[in-house]
Structure 1
Amino acid sequence: MAGGRRPARGEPSAGELHGGGEPTESRAEPWRACVEEISPDGVRDCPPRRVLVVDDHPVVRQGVVALLNADPSLEVVGQAESAEEALDVVARLLPDVVLLDARLPGLSGVDAARTMLPEHPRLRAVLLTGFTNQGVLLDALDAGIHGLVLKESDATTIVAAVRAVASGQQFIDPLVEHRLLATREHRRRARQRYGLTPAELEVLEMVPQGLTNSEISSALGLSANTVKTHLAHAMRKLEVRNRAEAAVFVLSGGLS
């Protein structure tokens, strides 16, 4: 960069491009194309990774923006308050990484990722979530999300997640990593053995908790009818006759 200095970085409002105007071709390049340059003073430098922050709570969003902008390797170029707005901003700004809150008005952060990642193959996604339910977290990974961070984690973990994902790595919060990866392998074997879909398995694993379809739907963000359908399909594949038999099957390790 000329003079070896980056321009001062402000905090863009929701949906705005930092600095105004449309991104140039070089600024819109993905993280893979980031090339080190030698400034006139001989200091090696590389353009910061461009980040979009999506959260419907202004105070939280602005706090995350300030946190990421404090790291010289990152630059928040836009903000969005909903998944729908994020889809539009991603198409306009072409960020390297999008940091999504899991719970948004309308589409969830996971649903947003399912839509935007296939449309923008070079985009990387990090999910910031308050959910610790293994099924919800695994759904996020199945949706193609590259990084998972719990809201209870400290600020350094959020920055580390964005930096790792921007560099092409996967990041799973250390608070859930071991258990989550073990559960993911368990689910993979169960799907292969019984032909269960991820959604069917997710619903089935909650049956032993004694939850009603309505309670499961609230926990997973699905409709009660969808839960009922997934459970019926899973029970048919396992050849069990009712919820009680399904619960016993799961608790006895039948899915292992």
Structure 2
Amino acid sequence: MIMMMTTATIKKVVSCQWSVVSWRKANKGQRTKDKGQKGMSLIAVMAVMTLFAIALLAVAPAVQLSVQREKELEAIRRGEEVAGAIRQYIEFYRGTKLPDSMDDLLEGLPQGTKKRQILRPSAAVDPLSEDGKWRLIKPTGQAFINFGKRVQTYNNGILPSSPSAIFDRFALPLVNIINSQSDSEIKEADEEEIEDSTDNTPFIGIASQSRNTSIIAYYGIENHSKWIFTPLFRGAGTSVINPRVGTPNRGERPNQNSQEQRNTLPRNTRP
């Protein structure tokens, strides 16, 4: 009887051991399968990420170009607004006084017991320069003379008229100088025309401190430092922006109305 029970017990133990071994083998195979699936998933994720990175690299230049173009358009809008404020300032003082700093324009013009605002604070910031300060362009500076020559060349040899006779005192000496200079002399003076004055300078216009090549051509000029925003050269029918080859056709025209504008807004762009 004892022998029969022992044999039965041994069979049960052996059976349990085989069951444990079988379960372990099956579990081990499942773990191996799971590891294989995880490995494949990781490879798939890495492949997708690689393709995404390649796609980003492909579109990055186009995005950078678009961002740069918008910054340049904003710089032109602000520059044109400052030019309008300079015009109002000079007209108010009948051409006897030029602004000495951007603060003169921001403070506005006397109107009774108050000040009439002619420039928004946002327009006083250059979006293309690191410190946000505009360069102040003197009416007798080389930068202003060269700009007048470039405008004349862009306008088929004709220098556009000034908004009013008040500006003739600044325009006539300029006309005499640029008519006596050749195109080669203008090009040779490129490095000399960069003036770093940003304050305490009687100015007839402003320009950016950035010296980078531009995407947009302003009066045919493709360099930020040579874009001068001034109330002069506002003859009717002169478009100031023409895109470079390969860029969308989008332009902007300076304000040709000499009437005073309060709280001048940026000029609209056209598609």
Q: TM-score range by the shorter chain?
A: under 0.3
Higher-Rg member (1/2): 2
Higher relative contact order (CA 8 A, sep 6+): 2
Query: TM-score w.r.t. structure 1 length?
Result: 0.24
Query: TM-score w.r.t. structure 2 length?
Result: 0.23
